[in-house]
Amino acid sequence: MSKIVIASGNKGKINDFKSIFKQFEVVGIQSILEDFDPVEDGETFKDNALIKALEGAKRTNLPVISDDSGLSVEALEGAPGVRSARFAGDDATDQENNKKLLQLMKGEENRSAYFTSVIAVAFPDGTAYTYEGVVFGEILEAPVGTNGFGYDPLFQTLDGKKFGELSTDEKSEISHRKRAIDKLLEDENLFNRLQS
């Protein structure tokens, strides 16, 4: 069975990919490289996804999948963007990031925002594929719901679904990551390479 490495220590994310790539042995990168911690200094989600996937593939000599995602707010010129996890500081909690976002959005009429997920699949020879998924919506005036993580309590889709109120299964059906994964699953060239 061919092996695929996920460039993440997040067990939930690893399990998500295990359910997609059932015909492969899927492992987290920390089970191979305990010190894997590339500097994500790209200017876009695609840049950062590729940084992780390419470095992982080079060091493990195996196909590596990574993803990078975050929230972009129109009124903040795309912020927090690639700094979504570190918006209120390098070690910021979700609550601190949400608090900063609400402070910056106080009184703002344009609340348009979108979540982006870019999944990268890299091979040891340096080639890579990327897939992007986006969900459009708006920033709420205050947190709603107790589900999800990150900015979920502040995000509502264009058709009124509040991420903070959705179950994991409900969110996974409409999320930005799901949309990126759907594009990946449609790529026959990728699966042919993984199986060769």
133 annotated to a ligand binding site: no
Place of tokens 């890579």: 128
Count the Cβ atoms, other than its own, within 10 Å of residue 27.
Answer: 17
114 annotated to a ligand binding site: no
DSSP 8-state secondary structure symbol assigned to residue 174: H
42 annotated to a ligand binding site: no
Give the Cα-Cα-Cα angle 6, 12, 16 (nearest 5 degrees). Answer: 65
Q: Which residues of 11-23 are buried (b: 16+ CB within 10 A; e: fewer)?
A: eebbebbbeebee
- Cα–Cα distance for residue pair 186/173, rounded to 1 Å: 16
> Cβ distance 89 to 77 under 8 Å?
no
78 annotated to a ligand binding site: no
183 annotated to a ligand binding site: no
Q: Which residues contact 90 (CB under 8 A, 6 or more apart)?
A: none
Q: Record the tokens describing residue 115, joined without a space.
A: 């979540």
Annotation says 35 is catalytic? no
Q: Record the tokens describing residue 130, joined without a space.
A: 């990327």
149 annotated to a ligand binding site: yes
**Distance of CA 71 to CAs 75, 76, 128, 140, 176, Å?**
12, 11, 24, 13, 10
169 annotated to a ligand binding site: no
69 annotated to a ligand binding site: yes
9 annotated to a ligand binding site: yes
129 annotated to a ligand binding site: no
Q: Which position among 35, 47, 67, 68 bears the catalytic label?
A: 68
Which residues line the annotated binding site? 8-13, 68-69, 149-152, 171, 176-177
Which residues line the annotated binding site for Mg(2+)? 68
Which residues line the annotated binding site for substrate? 8-13, 69, 149-152, 171, 176-177
Question: Could you list the active site residues?
Answer: 68
